[in-house]
Amino acid sequence: MAKVSVLVDTDVFIDYFNTGRFSSVFDASRFIIYYSIATKKELLTKLGLREAEREAIVSELSRGRLITLSDSITARYADLRRQHASLDKADVLIAATALVKRLPLVTRNKRHFRIVEDLTLFG
């Protein structure tokens, strides 16, 4: 069976680290995990993050593929911010990344993202 490429939202990583929920998404035989630079920032700048937690996050992120900012993601982000000013900036960046890279977004926060046209959501 072919692997499915997905962009994983920060909340899914957090649930996975805290409870093991979404462990099937992190099955490397089934999925290719991508994550936004916004997710990396959100995970690694959490207040009170202990060194052991930081190491676990870095280890898990190293198994996935980081998507950094590009001109096309930045332009899509700017368009989405104008269209959806009520959305959190990190959520807009994650949505822009998913759209530009044509990746479905795995998230628990479907209500945050469902207003973004053409965005495919899993969760």
For 41-75, what is each residue's pLDDT tens digit?
999 999 999 999 999 999 999 999 999 999 999 99
Domains in the chain (CATH in brackets) are 4-122 (3.40.50.1010)
For 67-112, what is each residue's pLDDT tens digit?
999 999 999 999 999 999 999 999 999 999 999 999 999 999 898 8
22: left (phi over 0), alpha (psi -120 to 50) or beta: left
Asked if residues 119 and 113 have their Cβ atoms less than 8 Å apart, the reply is yes
User: 101: closest CA among 123, 77, 78, 122?
Assistant: 77
Which residues contact residue 12 at a Cβ distance below 8 angstroms, ignoring those fewer than 6 apart? 22, 25, 106, 107, 108, 123
- Token output for 107: 């998230």
- Would the pTM count as exceeding 0.85? yes
